[in-house]
């Protein structure tokens, strides 16, 4: 097979800005002619980037869908692409925008209209990872001995991901963003985000709408914000002690960070000099430039080595457009007419026997309402499977699946090891339901997975959403309702 | 030309030069497989006596493969300097042997002689030389070449770092490379045999090796041993390749089986001259090995030693930086046991050096040959004595991608230590700077790949 | 199936699985006793040597995990440590034994394979004269002519090639997975058999006699040190004399630590189906 090019889109709808990018992902064979076929994305190339626009809002609580769609249509036209050209990609809704009233509806609406296999993603943790991949931190960590943190600071949140040698260690998100406090050029406070209020209160930095602030007043706030966040990243303060500022975290304590990259809109502003007047500071009608300046000035006091990012404002959108799609193994079992499948929860089962039935029951409990396809089974474990073991495994899984989900017409299995074709065939020969069995995809418990239509007869694009879309947006709602 | 000989009371009649050349060879399973070997030891000696008495003129006038039929023959024929040839045309093959071995024949004299020799004459004299003859004669010849940095000086022994990986994992290749460098290996070239023969993959490996060379300022050159057309595509896409690699055969049809021709090599040569990343002037890395023509049924009834000599005749045209005979890779149907491998290694090294090539040897065997690691250690020391330019360095001699055994980083370090040989001069200075070597000896720090992490 | 039957099957299979997946602790305990009684017991980790004082301690594991190459082994003077050297010699010993040994009958009986021979005579001739391993003996020609189905859609042949242990290790996994894949792809197959002393091109001679539409040969590869038990699957559309190398397709490196045997077997059916659809094999086959 000659190299195949997949057109991929990334759309990032953030607290303050929205952007889009198009890219070409080149699919190529990465195994020798004498081995089983194995394909991967061998080249990623940005082909188009949009202007960065202000995220259109109807009011503080609602995104302006009509305006957004009109803008997207214009951008597609300008990029010379139609929706049918786009085969993969992701729409990500980030920061504070994710808590807008119509965010959930919007993101699914868009993902279904942006192209063939464009997935919807949201969640602070995923956002942090995508920004880190888009900014160049991930690549940098491959060449570095130490732990690299990418701090992506947008309008509403600072999403931090820690990489070591290309592995994701932890993520943490702060209520730190350039648009949390909006001001006009005379220093009058236009609005204060509810997410920052408890922290301001605790710091005795009471603000109210309409109050006039000096450059010094504002700098005091931005400096305190920068110091608290950096103290937490440097391990000087515990995550727990800063729970008013921490939005979410994957851990209780962070490992020691050696290098940092700062991306996002505020990251872009750190590259400019400090504003000299309140007018200059308020040129975007928010305190973003001041936050950037404070971070820049305070960073010197910490042990971190600061690395220049390759991308700043567009880090997340580039990550979303270029890094979300994975390629399955090329020896798999699929029924093409069943694809694409979107947003399937994953129940992970390791190859130890007690777990199979227990986990299927857990899955029934959680997702049993969907009788047609309740969940996908993730098979982990690097045990070498003989034919006999594989046959037994297929019999157990198939029989139990049929027992608990008698109405299901389809079984989806995602294996980490290269075994999907053998396992899928064995299941197909023994059971009546359709089988989608793919491999060489790493997934975890609680992940959601999208499986696209085949790119060739034997390869499917896959997007693994490492933190559950629904789960996290619910959590957001609980926090801020 | 004489084709008949009587030894004591027994008469042997041969039909042509090709048959005499084949039957004069030391026993090789490849010649037996081709059905051209001497049927017994005495016939072998009869052929060898006759060959010793033939003149260089006889050999040139009776081509084993006519230039009209074969482009490799044409390349060899065109390279002859007529004046130099005329001055030795009446020498017998025996005269040539004795001249080469004479105390009074220096490297400079050999340089002059070489211009009048065809590859077939070189093969002929090899057949009447013993193993120690081959070592003695080769040890006189110094061939210095330069890609980024020069190698090949007398008193030095270089190593190719061969950090292959079964799936071309960049991390895995890098890990073995660090190990090689920590033992002082890699001055000849950092050369990877890829599993995946496509331009993108080749480019990735070249980029990684180049980055490492830049990061530690390593005075060496990089190369990925894919097919030449794949490397050309990678270079056109901006891959940083110091050297171009290709396997060569001794006949036009053998090269066709490799997917190459003189025309293609000329084209590739133009490209590397224009777009290669190294200083030069020597920009090629060739590999050869006895038996490859027979394996592709392109041998024209010619024995494998003569065909091997012709590979070098072709290689010479492109002034390579390094030439490597992969002596025991091809299998027992060509070289059955260690005795045959050792002989072939010494023959190839000598034949290449006599034709002015920077010869290295991949001292190696496959697991279905009657040979083991001890045999390789023997041959490595013999070649070290013969002045081989470089050996191949593989972690513990076991190549986990090509599935054969060669020489290890330890082995090259040992040959250097036993024979008092040094790495190439710039590389030795670098090893000293890195604290890996002092006064030609490995330091305490050597053997620890994590010093590069 | 009713509820009761399902329960029964599940219970039965679970019990079997339980046994296979769980390590037997009794055996482990016995080992301790055996060490004293039997002397030295060598396991994989006992061959391991290490760098005494690496510059970057955590780095060693990272490097060695990234490649099967024998790195991070350390040295004494310029020579390897004793255990590293013995390990290399041990792996070589396994490789040469794989070349010289013969496939035990019981591995073939499992799939009802009968045995025929090529003209290879003996192991030495086999190694020196690959041409002889490409031709079946007259007896073999008679045997397969009388015992095998003529002109099958798929003909499966198994051969020791250069590694008897490749067949012993992998056939039990590759073969049934291959049969599954033929069923899934709606392909029928003829009478399978074993060829002793076979080379890859014995496919051509067999093709001339049985005239299958496609033939797959499962044959032991030249042993390496990583695995002495590696198998290749060679596939060809209408094999016959005069076929050249580039007319065949191959999946190589099939063994438990390489290309997974069950997955290789499962993939063969797809390749064979495409050969039949496209009426071609080798480099011209679109996969």
Render pLDDT for B103-122 as a digit per residue (tens, 0 to 9).
999 999 999 999 999 999 99
Cβ-defined contact of B164 to C69 (cutoff 8 Å) = yes
> Percent of chain B scored above 70 by pLDDT?
100
Cβ-defined contact of B453 to C95 (cutoff 8 Å) = no
| Across A202-210, average pLDDT | 87
Render pLDDT for B214-260 as a digit per residue (tens, 0 to 9).
999 999 999 999 999 999 999 999 999 999 999 999 999 999 999 99
Question: Which chain B positions have a beta carbon within 8 Å of C79's beta carbon?
Answer: 410, 414
How many other C-beta atoms are found inside a 10 Å radius of the C-beta of residue A357? Answer: 17
Examine residue A472 and state whether it is found in any structural domain, yes or no: no
Examine residue C209 and state whether it is found in any structural domain, yes or no: yes
Our count of domains for chain C comes to 1
Is residue A403 less than 8 Å (CB to CB) from chain C? yes
Q: In this predicted structure, what is the pLDDT of residue C25?
A: 45
**Which residue is closest to A388 within chain C, CA to CA?**
C173
Helix pair angle (B373-386, C82-100), 10° resolution: 110
Q: In this predicted structure, what is the pLDDT of residue B170?
A: 94
Question: Which chain C positions have a beta carbon within 8 Å of B164's beta carbon?
Answer: 69
pLDDT at A468 over 70: no
Whether residue A277 sits in one domain with residue A214: yes
pTM score of the predicted model? 0.86
Examine residue B222 and state whether it is found in any structural domain, yes or no: yes
pLDDT at C22 over 70: no
Examine residue A469 and state whether it is found in any structural domain, yes or no: no
Strands A88-93 and B10-13: unpaired
Q: In this predicted structure, what is the pLDDT of residue B255?
A: 96
Whether residue A113 sits in one domain with residue A202: no
Is residue A361 less than 8 Å (CB to CB) from chain C? no
Q: Using CB atoms, pick whichever of B395, B416, B453 lies closest to residue C56.
A: B453
The CATH number for C216's domain is 3.40.50.11240
Cβ-defined contact of C263 to A399 (cutoff 8 Å) = no
Whether residue A175 sits in one domain with residue A80: no
Judged on CB neighbours under 10 Å (0-12, 13-18, 19+), C43 is exposed
Largest Cα span, chain A: 77
**Full domain range(s) for residue B394:** 145-452
Rounded alpha-carbon distances, angstroms, from residue A30 to A25, B204, C69: 14, 12, 20
| Across C115-143, average pLDDT | 96
Whether residue A176 sits in one domain with residue A61: no
Examine residue A128 and state whether it is found in any structural domain, yes or no: no
pLDDT band at C249; cut points 50, 70, 90? very high
Examine residue B84 and state whether it is found in any structural domain, yes or no: no
Cβ-defined contact of C71 to B333 (cutoff 8 Å) = no
Examine residue A470 and state whether it is found in any structural domain, yes or no: no
> Percent of chain A scored above 90 by pLDDT?
47
Q: In this predicted structure, what is the pLDDT of residue B186?
A: 98
Render pLDDT for B21-71 as a digit per residue (tens, 0 to 9).
999 999 999 999 999 999 999 999 999 999 999 999 999 999 999 999 999
For chain B, what is the radius of gyration of the CA atoms? 21
Report which secondary-structure segment, H or E, holds B384: helix B373-386
Across the A/C interface, how many CB contacts are shorter than 8 Å? 112
Nearest Cα of chain C lies from the Cα of A167 at a distance, in angstroms, of 13
pLDDT at A477 over 60: no
Q: Using CB atoms, pick whichever of A28, A32, A43 lies closest to residue B195.
A: A32
Render pLDDT for A266-320 as a digit per residue (tens, 0 to 9).
999 998 889 988 999 999 999 999 999 999 999 999 999 999 999 999 999 999 8
Q: Is the peptide bond before A340 cis (omega within 30 degrees of 0)?
A: yes
Whether residue A142 sits in one domain with residue A169: yes
Q: Please tell me whether the interface predicted TM-score (ipTM) of this complex is above 0.85.
A: yes
Looking at A258, A292, A326, which one is the last position of a domain?
Answer: A326
Examine residue B86 and state whether it is found in any structural domain, yes or no: no
Examine residue B12 and state whether it is found in any structural domain, yes or no: no
The β-bridge partners of C158 are: C194, C218
**Full domain range(s) for residue C192:** 105-284
Examine residue C254 and state whether it is found in any structural domain, yes or no: yes
Whether residue A151 sits in one domain with residue A116: no
Strands A341-350 and A448-451: antiparallel
pLDDT band at B189; cut points 50, 70, 90? very high
The CATH number for B212's domain is 3.20.20.70
Is residue A205 less than 8 Å (CB to CB) from chain B? no
Q: In this predicted structure, what is the pLDDT of residue A114?
A: 77
Distance of alpha carbon A467 from alpha carbon A453, whole angstroms: 23
Examine residue A78 and state whether it is found in any structural domain, yes or no: yes
Cβ-defined contact of C77 to B453 (cutoff 8 Å) = no
Strands C154-159 and C214-220: parallel
Render pLDDT for C188-230 as a digit per residue (tens, 0 to 9).
999 999 999 999 999 999 999 999 999 999 999 999 888 889 9
Question: Which chain A positions have a beta carbon within 8 Å of C285's beta carbon?
Answer: none
Cβ-defined contact of A28 to B198 (cutoff 8 Å) = yes
In 3D, which of B270, B327, B287 has the Cα closest to residue B188?
A: B287
pLDDT at A107 over 80: no
The structure tokens 């070098």 sit at B312
**Full domain range(s) for residue A434:** 331-455
Cβ-defined contact of B201 to A43 (cutoff 8 Å) = no
Looking at A274, A293, A326, which one is the last position of a domain?
Answer: A326
Whether residue A285 sits in one domain with residue A155: yes
Whether residue A283 sits in one domain with residue A155: yes
Q: In this predicted structure, what is the pLDDT of residue C41?
A: 76
Our count of domains for chain A comes to 3
| Across A368-393, average pLDDT | 85
The CATH number for A149's domain is 3.30.420
Is residue B230 less than 8 Å (CB to CB) from chain A? no
Distance of alpha carbon A266 from alpha carbon A292, whole angstroms: 6
Question: Which chain B positions have a beta carbon within 8 Å of A30's beta carbon?
Answer: 168, 196, 201
Distance of alpha carbon B316 from alpha carbon B273, whole angstroms: 16
Cβ-defined contact of C287 to A389 (cutoff 8 Å) = no
Cβ-defined contact of C177 to A387 (cutoff 8 Å) = yes
Our count of domains for chain B comes to 1
| Across B173-180, average pLDDT | 98
User: Chains near B, with 3+ CB pairs < 8 A?
Assistant: A, C
Whether residue A149 sits in one domain with residue A258: yes
In 3D, which of B247, B250, B254 has the Cα closest to residue B296?
A: B254
- Between A96-110, B20-34, C180-194, the lowest mean confidence (pLDDT) is in A96-110
Examine residue B76 and state whether it is found in any structural domain, yes or no: no
Distance of alpha carbon C261 from alpha carbon C153, whole angstroms: 23
When the pLDDT of each residue in chain A is averaged and rounded to a whole number, the result is: 87
Whether residue A153 sits in one domain with residue A108: no
Whether residue A80 sits in one domain with residue A9: yes
Distance of alpha carbon A135 from alpha carbon A152, whole angstroms: 9
Question: Which chain B positions have a beta carbon within 8 Å of C63's beta carbon?
Answer: 175, 178-179, 449-450, 453
């Amino acid at each position: 097979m000659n190299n195949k090019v997949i057109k991929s889109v990334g759309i990032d709808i953030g607290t303050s800005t929205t952007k889009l990018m198009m890219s070409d992902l080149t699919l190529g064979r990465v195994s020798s002619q004498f081995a089983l076929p194995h394909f991967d994305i061998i080249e990623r190339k940005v082909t188009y980037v949009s202007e960065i626009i202000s995220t259109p809002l109807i009011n503080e609580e609602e995104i302006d869908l009509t305006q957004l769609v009109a803008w997207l249509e214009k951008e597609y036209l300008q990029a010379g692409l139609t929706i049918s050209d786009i085969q993969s990609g992701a729409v990500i809704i980030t920061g504070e925008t994710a808590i807008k009233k119509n965010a959930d509806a919007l993101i699914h609406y868009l993902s279904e209209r942006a192209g063939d296999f464009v997935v919807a993603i949201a969640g602070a943790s995923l956002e942090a990872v995508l920004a880190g991949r888009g900014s160049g931190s991930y690549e940098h960590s491959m060449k570095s001995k130490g732990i690299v943190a990418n701090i992506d600071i947008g309008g509403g949140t600072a999403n931090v991901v820690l990489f070591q040698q290309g592995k994701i260690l932890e993520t943490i998100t702060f209520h730190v963003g350039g648009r949390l406090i909006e001001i006009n050029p005379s220093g009058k406070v236009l609005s204060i985000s509810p997410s920052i209020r408890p922290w301001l209160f605790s710091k005795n930095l009471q603000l109210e709408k309409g109050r006039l602030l000096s450059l010094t007043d504002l700098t005091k706030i931005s400096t305190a914000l920068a110091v608290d966040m950096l103290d937490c990243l440097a391990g000087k303060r515990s995550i727990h002690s800063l729970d008013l500022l921490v939005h979410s975290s994957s851990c209780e304590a962070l490992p020691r960070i050696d290098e940092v990259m700062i991306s996002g809109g505020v990251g872009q502003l750190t590259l400019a000099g400090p504003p000299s007047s309140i007018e200059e500071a308020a040129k975007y009608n928010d305190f973003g430039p001041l936050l950037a300046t404070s971070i820049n000035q305070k960073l010197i006091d910490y042990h971190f080595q600061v690395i220049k990012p390759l991308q700043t404002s567009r880090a997340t959108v580039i990550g979303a457009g270029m890094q979300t799609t994975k390629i399955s193994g090329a020896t798999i079992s699929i029924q093409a007419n069943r694809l694409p499948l979107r947003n399937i929860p994953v129940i992970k089962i390791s190859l130890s026997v007690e777990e199979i039935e227990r986990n299927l029951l857990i899955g029934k409990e959680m997702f049993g309402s969907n009788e047609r396809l309740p969940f996908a089974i993730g098979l982990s474990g690097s045990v070498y499977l003989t034919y006999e073991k594989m046959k037994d495994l297929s019999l157990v899984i198939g029989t139990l699946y049929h027992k608990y989900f008698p109405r299901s017409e389809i079984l989806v299995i995602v294996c980490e090891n290269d075994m999907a074709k053998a396992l899928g065939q064995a299941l197909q020969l023994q059971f009546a339901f359709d089988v989608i069995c793919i491999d060489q995809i790493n997934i975890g418990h609680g992940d959601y997975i999208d499986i696209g239509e085949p790119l060739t007869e034997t390869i499917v694009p896959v997007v693994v959403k490492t933190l559950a879309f629904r789960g996290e947006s619910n959590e957001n709602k609980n926090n801020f309702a | 030309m004489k084709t008949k000989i009587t030894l004591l009371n027994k008469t042997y009649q041969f039909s042509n030069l090709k048959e005499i050349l084949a039957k004069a060879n030391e026993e090789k399973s490849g010649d037996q497989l081709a059905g051209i070997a001497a049927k017994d030891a005495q016939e072998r000696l009869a052929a060898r006596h006759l060959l010793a008495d033939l003149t260089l003129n006889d050999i040139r006038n009776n081509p084993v493969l006519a230039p009209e039929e074969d482009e490799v023959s044409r390349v060899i024929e065109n390279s002859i300097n007529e004046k130099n040839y005329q001055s030795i045309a009446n020498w017998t093959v025996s005269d040539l042997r004795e001249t080469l071995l004479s105390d009074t024949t220096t490297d400079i004299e050999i340089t002059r002689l070489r211009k009048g020799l065809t590859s077939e004459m070189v093969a002929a004299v090899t057949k009447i030389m013993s193993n120690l003859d081959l070592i003695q004669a080769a040890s006189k010849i110094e061939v210095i070449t330069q890609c980024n940095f020069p190698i090949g000086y007398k008193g030095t022994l270089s190593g190719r770092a061969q950090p292959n990986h079964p799936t071309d994992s960049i991390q895995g290749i890098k890990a073995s490379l660090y190990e090689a460098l920590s033992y002082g290996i890699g001055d000849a070239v950092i050369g990877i045999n890829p599993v995946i023969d496509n331009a993108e993959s080749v480019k990735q490996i070249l980029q990684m090796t180049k980055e490492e060379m830049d990061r530690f300022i390593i005075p060496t050159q990089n190369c990925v041993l894919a097919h030449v057309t794949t490397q050309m595509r990678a270079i056109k896409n901006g891959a940083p390749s110091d050297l171009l690699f290709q396997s060569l055969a001794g006949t036009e049809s053998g090269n066709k089986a490799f997917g190459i021709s003189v025309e293609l090599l000329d084209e590739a040569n133009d490209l590397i001259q224009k777009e290669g990343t190294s200083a030069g002037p020597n920009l090629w890395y060739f590999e050869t090995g006895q038996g490859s023509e027979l394996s592709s049924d392109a041998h024209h009834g010619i024995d494998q030693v003569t065909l091997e000599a012709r590979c070098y005749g072709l290689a010479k045209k492109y002034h390579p930086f390094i030439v490597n005979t992969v002596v025991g890779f091809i299998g027992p149907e060509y070289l059955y046991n260690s005795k045959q491998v050792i002989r072939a290694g010494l023959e190839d090294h000598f034949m290449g050096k006599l034709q002015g090539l920077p010869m290295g040897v991949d001292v190696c065997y496959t697991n279905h040959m009657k040979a083991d690691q001890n045999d390789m250690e023997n041959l490595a020391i013999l070649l070290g004595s013969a002045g081989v330019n470089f050996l191949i360095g593989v972690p513990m001699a076991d190549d986990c991608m090509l599935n054969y055994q060669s020489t290890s980083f330890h082995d090259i370090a040992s040959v250097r230590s036993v024979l008092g040989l040094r790495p190439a001069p710039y590389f030795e200075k670098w090893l000293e700077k890195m604290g890996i070597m002092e006064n030609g000896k490995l330091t305490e720090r050597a053997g620890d790949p994590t010093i590069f992490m | 199936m009713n509820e009761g039957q399902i329960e029964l099957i599940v219970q039965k299979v679970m019990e079997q699985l339980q046994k296979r997946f769980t390590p037997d602790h009794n055996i482990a305990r016995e080992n301790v006793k055996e060490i004293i009684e039997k002397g030295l017991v060598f396991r994989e980790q006992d061959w391991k040597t290490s760098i005494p004082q690496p510059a970057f301690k955590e780095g060693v594991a990272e490097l060695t995990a990234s490649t099967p190459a024998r790195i991070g082994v350390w040295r004494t003077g310029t020579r390897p440590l004793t255990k590293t050297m013995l390990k290399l010699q041990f792996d070589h010993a396994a490789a040469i034994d794989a070349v010289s040994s013969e496939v035990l009958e019981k591995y073939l009986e499992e799939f009802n394979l009968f045995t025929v021979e090529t003209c290879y005579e003996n192991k030495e001739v086999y190694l020196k004269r690959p041409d002889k391993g490409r031709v079946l003996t007259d007896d073999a020609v008679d045997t397969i002519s009388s015992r095998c189905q003529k002109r099958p859609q798929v003909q499966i042949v198994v051969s020791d090639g250069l590694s008897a242990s490749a067949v012993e290790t992998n056939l039990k996994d590759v073969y049934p997975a291959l049969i599954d894949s033929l069923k899934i792809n709606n392909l029928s197959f003829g009478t399978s058999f074993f060829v002793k002393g076979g080379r890859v091109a014995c496919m051509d001679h067999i093709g001339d006699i049985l005239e299958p539409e496609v033939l797959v040969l499962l044959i032991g590869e030249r042993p390496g040190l990583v695995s002495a038990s590696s198998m290749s699957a060679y596939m060809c559309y209408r094999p016959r004399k005069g076929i050249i190398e580039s007319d065949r397709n191959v999946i190589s490196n099939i063994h438990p630590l390489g290309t997974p045997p069950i997955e290789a077997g499962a993939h063969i059916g797809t390749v064979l189906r495409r050969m039949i659809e496209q009426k071609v094999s080798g480099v011209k086959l679109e996969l």
